[in-house]
Amino acid sequence: MRRRGNSARCRRGRAGQAAVRGAAVGCRRARRGPRPARARPGIEQRGLLGRRASLADWRRAQVSPGRTGRQSRVVRLATYTVTEIKCVGIYYHPRLDEARAAADDLAADLNKRGVDVWTSMPWEPEQSTEHLPRTDLLICLGGDGTILRAARASAGHDCLILGVDLGRQAFLTELLPEQLDEHIPDLFNGSFMIEDRTMLEARPIGVDGESPGKLSALNDVMIGRGSLGQPAYIAVWVGGDLVGVVRADAVVVASATGSTGYSLSAGGPILHPQARNVVLTPVAPHLAQAAPMVLPGDAVIELRLGREHPGSLSVDGQRPFALHPGGGVEVRRSESLARLVRFGERPFFAQLGRRLAWLDERRIEAVSRTGVEAFDQKTADPS
């Protein structure tokens, strides 16, 4: 009988490789991937206690190699030690006075450490274009919106992103402002982890005006009606096959990160942040049932408007484009990843329940005192 976990305990592959798959032989499995080898020191094998690795090391180890057959690469939360943070960019929310003040203080502190620093507002990405190729870390002072803009601006540049929460109900930020001073040294002695988030790539079709070319999104891409009170006819193709024509306010294609955003509000499912799938969710479908779908991560999705009315395209809910009748967008998983700095493990589902107000403190206390039976009692207080 095969016992779960045997192969993981009996043999360790090269750092950055997924567990092998194949027939079980004793406590081993037949190899169908890269040959096992000694892990590179400082990466995963020794974690925070090992020797420090270069940025090039963690960039090579971020995603495991492509697998044979249908086994996909693994994006994971892993520990890396990095000493080569030489250039830091600071994005600050332009409408928050405390964000600008914090950016000035942070820049002064980093300059004292001999770090090359630049500051910018993410609302004006052209200001940071020349800096991003040499930037190792982006610190975002704001909320999730600031991080979304930073992820799009830095796509393809391998920048780490650290979010400092000055916004409302932020899911992506890591620190509160009062925690920043405590953790700045951790950035330079390697005491942090990297959490990779899948991004989307969008290619607009039939844009009114100059085409923006390829776009990146961390949360979602949406195509919808051009005016209030008028549903749009939207044709949906997946992998070249016509799924159908939806009459709705909009259709959203969301990454795992974006599954807790607009897609969730429209009735879409929640994906774990490390999932590589994408979600397709119709928004307010008219007189028909149009269920959301969870699609494979390598799916290519094309959305097209009907030929009678114009529409609009939105990327991460922040960058709108007008579309001609018959226009649309092609969406696929991007090769770029959003690389978020973490200072500890994040219990995603517990965090999700609290931030979406599914469990208030009183109910959490009830479970810890009496067990889950408290929720099965018909006489339990439903409030």
List, for residues 52-64, the tens digit of each pLDDT value: 334 444 444 444 4
Kindly give the residue spans of alpha helices, DSSP state H, lying in the chain: 6-10, 55-61, 97-112, 144-154, 180-189, 262-265, 348-355, 361-370
How many other CB atoms are found less than 10 A from the CB of residue 202? 29
- What are the extents of the domains in the chain? 87-190, 201-334
**pLDDT value at position 54?**
41
Tell me the mean pLDDT in the region 172-195. 93
Q: What is the mean pLDDT of the chain?
A: 78
Greater pLDDT, 360 or 188:
188
pLDDT at 21: 36
Kindly name the residue from 97, 109, 136, 144 that is annotated as catalytic.
Answer: 144
More confident residue, 365 or 75: 365
What is the distance between the alpha carbons of residues 145 and 80, in angstroms, rounded to a whole number? Answer: 26
Topology alike, domains 87-190 and 201-334: no
More confident of the two residues 175 and 123 = 175
User: Regarding predicted confidence, which is higher, 134 or 364?
Assistant: 134
- HSE-CB for 203 with a 13 A CA cutoff: 7
Active site residue 144: yes
Span 201-334: which CATH code? 2.60.200.30
Residue 376 pLDDT grade (very low, low, confident, very high; cuts 50, 70, 90): low
What CA dihedral angle connects 65, 68, 70 and 75, to 10 degrees?
-10
Q: What CATH architecture applies to the domain 87-190?
A: 3-Layer(aba) Sandwich (3.40)
